[in-house]
Amino acid sequence: MNRQQLIHQIFTKKTFLCVGLDTDISKIPEHLKNETDPIFAFNKAIIDATAPYCVAYKPNLAFYESYGLKGMMAFEKTIQYLKNHYPTHFIIADAKRGDIGNTSKMYARTFFEEYDLDSVTVAPYMGEDSVNPFLEYNGKWVILLALTSNKGSHDFQLTEDKSGERLFEKVLKNSQEWGTPENLMYVVGATQGRMFEDIRRIAPEHFLLVPGVGAQGGSLQEVCKYGMTKDCGLLVNSSRGIIYAGKGTDFAEAAARKAREMQEEMAVELNRSVR
Amino acid sequence: MNRQQLIHQIFTKKTFLCVGLDTDISKIPEHLKNETDPIFAFNKAIIDATAPYCVAYKPNLAFYESYGLKGMMAFEKTIQYLKNHYPTHFIIADAKRGDIGNTSKMYARTFFEEYDLDSVTVAPYMGEDSVNPFLEYNGKWVILLALTSNKGSHDFQLTEDKSGERLFEKVLKNSQEWGTPENLMYVVGATQGRMFEDIRRIAPEHFLLVPGVGAQGGSLQEVCKYGMTKDCGLLVNSSRGIIYAGKGTDFAEAAARKAREMQEEMAVELNRSVR
């Protein structure tokens, strides 16, 4: 999906919500555990319930990998289901990959050829040649870690160099020589509040994937105030806050309610922004 | 495998070689392509041929993931084969993972419970809470990226902060508050030459996993001169240089020859070091 198509989806559906599919078998409702593939059954119900309110889905590979082959089968089925039934939803493989060139090339092959997804999250520590192989695919996106939502983001990402430039700023600047706003987004955690101003000074146009609203405590209003652009420029993710909103047989309805709530808040923010 | 057991293996077999299983189906000998599982058939032959000359195997997840479920089945079979036939070899999942705490916990579960491997490579960008979940497993190891072997290592890893400390040095220092020489190693590329002196100043005891000898141009002698400790303290990896040493039906013999050559050079280096 290209940038124009993504922006079109956002303004048509009045939402920039991304639903994170961090499906943990220990947290899904009891009655699903007798299904042949409980993870897929859960995902399918969540997707059907939330699709009207979001523009993107973000399966988190860690959760699928942790169940071995069974987990990866559930991942593949989820992807196929999304592609067949919701082809206008943007799919993000949340995988945080990144390695030397010939290895990153294999990861790019995995997510962009084997699974044919729209985008993958990539870690910047190993630099340009670890990111470039992902950028060589037409119509596909790298979502590069810049300033993450967790406590550990302070350990290295905020380190200032001699000129006062922080590591996440260097990542934002250098990587703009590798990709463009058409194939490169950044992860910026919602918990970083006013840092969005600093981010937008360096990357005024790039889309930002924003985790950390909800369970991690970030504020949607603050993210929009400092991070939204005329093209929206945001994909705000919620995982646990939506998919585990309910624990009973009505879990999908509870997820839909939570997603619709967020969509409604997002519609207000989109209306507020000048287009 | 704990530190003492690893050191014992190294000095008994007079080798600190790690064979990287970066198995690429487009590079394996033609005659294997008719096998039911060509990737596993290749790995099995390479393992049987090289086991006497190495102490560790490092399957690179990217290569297996890129073939989807079939690839992951080959990965699982390779791991099982190693565990059943070569239980004293140390196994490294080269996966470069790292994410917020609850997600890193799932990755740790994948590699340490689902596959029960000895160690996994982890990227430090997201800081302490992205690494700690891997350190909570008794007898398991984190191998944290410090200074990698690729060109892009210069993009961020060498950035100096206000006090002149480079990012990789900060990673080495901070992470020593998270783990110990008993459960934490570092990736340091062989291409970094005399930087090993700087590394040893900060991390005098930790084992280093050293890629980049061979195809990437690093020198074993230089690595040993500046990086070896009284406990050896090194696992030197070679992937392409060994596993693709031959292209015909004698590929396993060619791999064995190459691995033995390296083992012999390593024996010289171990004898040279005072224990």
| For chain B, domain boundaries | 3-272
- How far, in Å, CA of A77 to CA of A93, rounded? 14
Interface of A with B in 246-275 (CB under 8 A): none
Q: Which of B125, B121, B124 is nearest to B107 (CA)?
A: B121
pLDDT at B44 over 80: yes
Helix H or strand E encompassing A22: none
- Tell whether the model's pLDDT for residue B273 goes beyond 90: no
Question: Torsion-angle region of residue A196: left (phi > 0), alpha (psi -120 to 50) or beta?
Answer: alpha
Its ipTM equals 0.96
Active site residue B230: no
Q: How far is the C-alpha of A270 from the C-alpha of B128, rounded, in Å?
A: 36
> B269 in helix, strand or coil?
helix
DSSP state of A60: B
Burial (CB < 10 A; 0-12, 13-18, 19+), residue A214, is buried
Q: Give the residue from chain A lying closest to B157, CA to CA.
A: A125
Write down the pLDDT at residue A23.
98
Per-residue pLDDT reduced to its tens digit, B22-40: 999 999 999 999 999 999 9
pLDDT digits 0-9 by tens, A171-217: 999 999 999 999 999 999 998 778 999 999 999 999 999 998 877 78
- 3-state SS, residue A188: strand
Give the pair of three-digit tokens for residue A202. Answer: 């360096």
Burial-class residue A248 by CB neighbours within 10 Å (0-12, 13-18, 19+): exposed
Instruction: Tell me the torsion sign for CA atoms B235, B240, B241, B247.
Output: positive
The tens digit of pLDDT for each residue in A214-234 reads 777 889 999 999 999 999 999
Using the 8-state DSSP alphabet, how is residue A63 labeled? Answer: H
**pLDDT of res. A216:** 76
- Rounded CA separation A208/B163 (Å): 32
- Looking at domain B3-272, its CATH class is alpha beta
Which pLDDT score is estimated for B212? 87
Indicate which of A58, A72, A73, A100 best probes the interface with B, i.e. most B CBs within 10 Å of its own CB. A100
Active site residues of A: 96
Q: How many CB pairs under 8 A join A and B?
A: 189
Percent of chain B with pLDDT strictly greater than 90: 94
A37 touching chain B per CB within 8 A: no
* Nearest chain B CA: its distance from A153 CA (Å): 5
The answer to whether residues A240 and A21 touch, using CB atoms and an 8 Å cutoff, is no
Output the pLDDT for position B274.
55
A130 contacts B65? CB cut-off 8 A: no
Angle at which helices A251-272 and A38-50 pack, to 10 degrees? 40
pLDDT of residue A274: 56
Closest CA to A63 of B75, B65, B67, B114: B114
What is the least distance, in Å, from the CA of A66 to any CA of chain B?
Answer: 4
Segments in chain A below pLDDT 70: 274-275
Name which CATH class applies to A3-268: alpha beta
8 Å CB contact between B144 and B131: yes
Q: Is A124 on the interface with B (CB under 8 A)?
A: yes
Question: Distance between CA A163 and CA B81 in Å, rounded?
Answer: 52
Average pLDDT, chain B: 96
| Radius of gyration of chain A from its Cα atoms, rounded to whole angstroms | 18
